[in-house]
Amino acid sequence: MIESTEARYTPAQTRATKQSPDFISAIATELQSMKAAKIEQSESSKSVRIARPFNNEQIEQRVLSILRSGRLVQGKTVEEFERSLSEYIGCRNVVCVNSGTAALHLAFMALKTEEPEKTEVITTPLSFAATANAVIHAGCKPVFVDVDSKTFNIDASLIQQKINSSTLALEPVDVYGLPADLKEIADLAATNHIPVVEDAAEAIGATSDGKKIGTISTLSCFSTYATKNIHTGEGGFVTTQDDHLASLIRLFRNQGQVSRYNQTVLGYNFRMLELCAAIGLEQVPVLDELNRKRRENALYLKERLQKIDSIDFQRVSDPKSHSWYLFTLTLDPQRAKLSRDSFVAKLKGHGIEADIAWPTPIHLQPYFRETFGCKKGDFPVAEALAERIFQLPIQPFLERDDLDRVLDAISEILQ
């Protein structure tokens, strides 16, 4: 955890108005100030960390005042967080919930309410388990389609053949923060009269064809889990331009109650904590700057790693369209003369928090093999990628020294 920096530097928000150009440059200064203040870190944070929470005086003040207010759940701060996200994304409805998984679950529940007989959702096997779990929780079955070997996103050209009269929705994932082929997917959805539930858990701040993620699909579902670009510990939200779907999601979020103790449908407790909203709220105005720093870090590493023939990268045609939640590369074990897993283990030995997301595609998880009869060979591109993919740290609080440590470790391991 970052220690309170309250006494050591003046937070940017006290020096400039939110959203103003001054504010953005003040955030850059704030990042510098945090460095200058030599914020004390725990033992584990001496490694080059893949994620690190944002904190400032305003967050601490907000959290404290919520604790003192006596209202801890789903109150004014959650509403303010929703308004702030709605303004930032440019979408009329934002509904906060207590995880990205809950956001997806309720998106499918809302669509199911309209078309209860439909039971299939077309999605990618190269994602986090929640992408498919939420489909199942809503009483549907995930129908997987293989991915593109360059972008690692769902291969849109394979979707049409899986669409039938049972298809409830298409569920592309903006994998690692790189938007899926949303234009082609929207066209397919329109031709077949089916909605798109975008798993945008990793893509806050990303864009596609100049449009913000969260404004394109029928429903877009975001996560604000502890490591995400905006993080609240646990949390998530749904965006939609459709008022009816938004009102259904609000209903499901709070036990199906239209008003206090007046329940019309079977709902859930997916309410967000005020404390979580307070943490997230302060990050919205600085998100673009933090994402810019992530991009800068990724491009710095990429430029220097390009010469290594055993390493390749997720193909990103426009670096500004990516949220850079995770900087994802592949290792060719033959050329490296080293398996991906040993390589990542060695990086960790050098104090570099590299990661593997995800070592097993969803369809090869034992639960999916047993429940849906999935097997090795079903989605060869996803399976091959899952054996080579890894991530390097690019989070916005890293300094050049940290990035150079990553590069030094890689050249030592692959020499």
Of the two residues 180 and 344, which places its CB atom closer to ligand PLP in the complex?
180
**Residue in this structure with the two tokens 């849906």, named with its chain if needed:** 372
Binding site for ligand PLP (CB under 6 A): 99-101, 127-128, 130-131, 173, 199, 201-202, 223, 225, 236
Of the two residues 5 and 232, which places its CB atom closer to ligand PLP in the complex?
232
Whole-angstrom CA distances from 178 to 172, 202, 347 are 11, 8, 25
- The sign of the torsion formed by the CA atoms of 210, 183, 174, 98 equals positive
Of the two residues 154 and 284, which places its CB atom closer to ligand PLP in the complex?
154
| Structure letter (DSSP) for residue 357 | S
Whether residue 358 contacts residue 139, with contact meaning beta carbons closer than 8 Å, is answered with no
Q: Tell the smallest beta-carbon distance from residue 175 to ligand PLP (Å).
A: 7
Q: Tell the smallest beta-carbon distance from residue 202 to ligand PLP (Å).
A: 5
Whether residue 237 contacts residue 96, with contact meaning beta carbons closer than 8 Å, is answered with yes
The 10 Å CB-count burial string (b at 16+, else e) for 235-269 is: bbbbbbbeeebbebbbbbbbeeeeeeeeeeeebbe
Of the two residues 88 and 225, which places its CB atom closer to ligand PLP in the complex?
225
Q: Tell the smallest beta-carbon distance from residue 367 to ligand PLP (Å).
A: 16
Provide CB contacts within 8 A for 10, sequence distance 6+. 33
Q: Tell the smallest beta-carbon distance from residue 227 to ligand PLP (Å).
A: 8
Of the two residues 175 and 336, which places its CB atom closer to ligand PLP in the complex?
175
- The sign of the torsion formed by the CA atoms of 347, 353, 354, 355 equals positive
**Residue in this structure with the two tokens 């994802």, named with its chain if needed:** 328
Residue nearest to ligand PLP (CB): 100
Of the two residues 5 and 207, which places its CB atom closer to ligand PLP in the complex?
207
Q: Tell the smallest beta-carbon distance from residue 11 to ligand PLP (Å).
A: 27
Q: Tell the smallest beta-carbon distance from residue 325 to ligand PLP (Å).
A: 8
